[in-house]
Amino acid sequence: MKVKRYVAATSREALRKVKEDLGPEAIILSNRQTVAGVEIMALADTDMSSLVDTHLPGRLPEQKNNEADLRNTESTHNAPIYAAELPSLNTGKQLVDRIPENVVSEEFVRNLMGEIHAMKSTFEEQLATVAWGNTTQRNPEKMKILRRLLDAGFSPLLSRRLVDKLSEGLGYAQSMKQAIAALEFNLHTAFNDEMIEKGGVYALVGATGVGKTTTIAKLAARCVVRHGADKVVLLTTDSYRIGGHEQLRIYGRLLGVSVKNIQDADDLQLTLSELRNKHIVLIDMVGMSHRDQMVAEQITMLNSASKDIKKILVMSAASSDRTLDEIITAYRKHGIDGCIITKLDEAASLGVALDAVIRRKLVLHYVTNGQKVPEDIHSANPRYLLHRIFTAKPSDSAFTLQDAEFALVMARNNSANEPDSRMYAGAGHD
């Protein structure tokens, strides 16, 4: 194999030299502009064929000879050339300019473009990491706040956006105070015991095992204390779990309130019309995966029965950040009127759940932290919840980021979609 170099004043003249010397089937390996003119590196077609025979794997000498004889007798006169397997052509911008029609060239182009995109991503990631390193040096206090937010369970997206809004020139304590004030401003909560005071019809929806039935019992107990047992009714659609409705009936007997089973939308509509004189009606919906198509059917049943039913999403604080995002997305497209966070006592950090509530602009009604009825349920208080998060001392664990890892993670997340511009409007409040 012999690669030849041709230099001419113009590309047309250089190509003419190649054609005269190597023939019309010559392979153009590269071309570039030099001081002397246009430089073209080319290879004769016969040399390319011998190169393919040498590099294709799994061929014995006898096979090569037989295939060469076969090519001489066939009308195509050329065996396929797999450009992706030619190491001399698979680097940089050495693109094959001319390849016979029966040659597989698209695979080579795709592989080459893939390598270019991979190199681009690597460079962007490295540059972003360097940029975050420079930011850390310029604003060390802000970077401390950022790490504190991440350690508390808040997402890189919310944390970065929040830190960007902090005032310049503040010390760590002042910056932390401003960050917490911004979080408090954007954590939307219902008025104290709004559900109990206003009354109405509430359906608790959510995944299996998040504590919907126990939460309903706690809400019912609070309402019984204020309005009396005759003003409270519990409904259940849970006929899937063995003894699922029995758990609610036990709570009902203990509280002295009636419990009714609901079969379908018509049954629900009829039952609600009979209960119009009740102060509050709590509906325990069947727990199911947010990826189950029955979620849509469940919400449709509620909407068709009555437009006055308020849907409250129950979420576990022990769930992961991505899981909470998926759950909220699944239910929000059908419409929800608020949320309740359960199992605070089981969660490693409350920041993950509050992060989801803040980013998705949900109204938080209650939080629960145990199985006791009715003690372990509390009205959502932003100041108390945030105080609980940031007074806990962060501890080193397998999930704690080191300095280099921190810069890499934030650089990767820097390209994420920005949240709503209306968020963090209170970042400047003291």
Which of 104, 138, 166 terminates a domain? The answer is: 104
Do 200 and 97 have their domain in common?
no
Residue 374 gets the label, from left (phi > 0), alpha (psi -120 to 50) or beta, of: alpha
Do 207 and 309 have their domain in common?
yes
Residue 401 lies in a domain: no
Cβ–Cβ < 8 Å for 281, 272: yes
Do 218 and 361 have their domain in common?
yes
The residue segments making up the domain with residue 76 are 3-104
Do 84 and 204 have their domain in common?
no
CB atoms within 10 A of CB 15: 20
| Strand 27-33, strand 38-43: pairing | antiparallel
pLDDT of 93: 39
Do 367 and 239 have their domain in common?
yes
CB atoms within 10 A of CB 373: 19
How many angstroms separate the CA atoms of 170 and 87, rounded? 56
pLDDT of 182: 93
Residue 150 lies in a domain: no
Which of 83, 104, 125 terminates a domain? The answer is: 104
- For residues 355, 356, 362 and 363, what is the CA-based torsion angle, rounded to 10 degrees? -50
User: Dihedral sign, CA of 127, 131, 136, 138?
Assistant: positive
Do 78 and 225 have their domain in common?
no
Residue 403 lies in a domain: no
Which of 80, 104, 128 terminates a domain? The answer is: 104
Residue 128 lies in a domain: no
Hey, is 39 helix, strand or coil? strand
Cβ–Cβ < 8 Å for 236, 261: yes
**Global pTM exceeds 0.85:** no
pLDDT of 375: 87
Residue 177 lies in a domain: no
Helix 156-164 vs helix 403-413: crossing angle, to nearest 10: 90
Q: CB-side exposure of 5: number of CA atoms within 13 Å? A: 8
Do 100 and 209 have their domain in common?
no
Residue 223 lies in a domain: yes
How many angstroms separate the CA atoms of 359 and 44, rounded? 62
Residue 168 lies in a domain: no
Domain total for the chain? 2
Do 354 and 229 have their domain in common?
yes
pLDDT of 363: 95
* CATH for 284: 3.40.50.300
How many angstroms separate the CA atoms of 318 and 350, rounded? 8
Q: What is the distance of C-alpha 58 from the center of its chain?
A: 44
Do 348 and 211 have their domain in common?
yes
Cβ–Cβ < 8 Å for 151, 394: yes
Residue 189 lies in a domain: no
* pLDDT in single tens digits along all 430 residues of the chain: 577 888 888 888 888 888 888 888 787 777 778 888 888 888 787 766 555 454 444 444 444 444 444 344 443 434 443 333 334 333 333 444 444 444 435 665 667 677 777 777 666 666 655 655 555 556 678 888 888 888 888 988 898 889 888 888 788 888 899 999 999 999 999 988 889 999 999 999 988 889 898 999 999 999 999 999 999 999 988 665 555 567 888 888 989 999 998 888 888 899 999 998 999 999 988 877 777 777 887 888 888 888 889 999 999 999 988 999 999 998 888 888 999 999 999 888 889 999 999 999 999 999 999 888 888 899 999 999 999 888 876 665 666 666 656 666 665 555 444 444 445 445 444 3
Strand order in the sheet with 258-261: 258-261, 232-236, 280-284, 200-205, 309-316, 338-342, 364-368, 377-379
* Structure tokens that stand for 156 in this block: 């890189």
Q: Give 244-275 as a DSSP string.
A: HHHHHHHHHHHHT-EEEE--SHHHHHHHHHHT
